[in-house]
Amino acid sequence: MSNRPLSPHLQIWKWGPHMLTSILHRVTGDGLALVGLGVLLWWLGAMASGPEAYETFTGLMTTPIGYVVLIGLTWAFFNHMMSGLRHFVLDIGAGYELTVNKTWAIASPILGVLLTIAFWAIIFLK
């Protein structure tokens, strides 16, 4: 049996907003890579294939399910961007104070939601 130290298990850690922000950063990055890439390639392929294919794409993306996908991708983008900016600040050595870290961990997902709402409000209100 090895005498190597073991990493503490997740059950002993007290959950905090920084953990949620980190998990959401990973989930939104994966969602953008998988779903976002699929929608992007479909959109580009539809544009390259002609007006009929593009009409099919826009017809499906303007259904309620299409809007859910597009709004979800927008939220994933803004949430990932805000937590990425938080990580950037941490990478340069700032923001490690407990109150500052907690504040930014709470603000990141909230700002992601607010930016998503603002983005779609601009689109729907034009």
55-98 per-position pLDDT tens digit: 999 999 999 999 999 999 999 999 999 999 999 999 999 988 99
Rounded to 5 degrees, φ, ψ at 94 are -110, 165
Q: Confidence class of residue 1 from pLDDT cuts 50, 70 and 90?
A: low
* Structure token digits, residue 58: 């826009």
The pLDDT value recorded for residue 16 is 87
CA separation for the pair 83, 86 (Å, rounded)? 5
> Where does 17-119 sit in CATH, by number?
1.20.1300.10
Compute the mean pLDDT over every residue in the chain, rounded to the nearest whole number.
93
CB proximity list for 14: less than 8 A, separation 6 or greater: none
Q: Confidence class of residue 114 from pLDDT cuts 50, 70 and 90?
A: very high
Name the residue ranges covered by the structural domains of the chain.
17-119
What's the whole-model pTM score?
Answer: 0.87
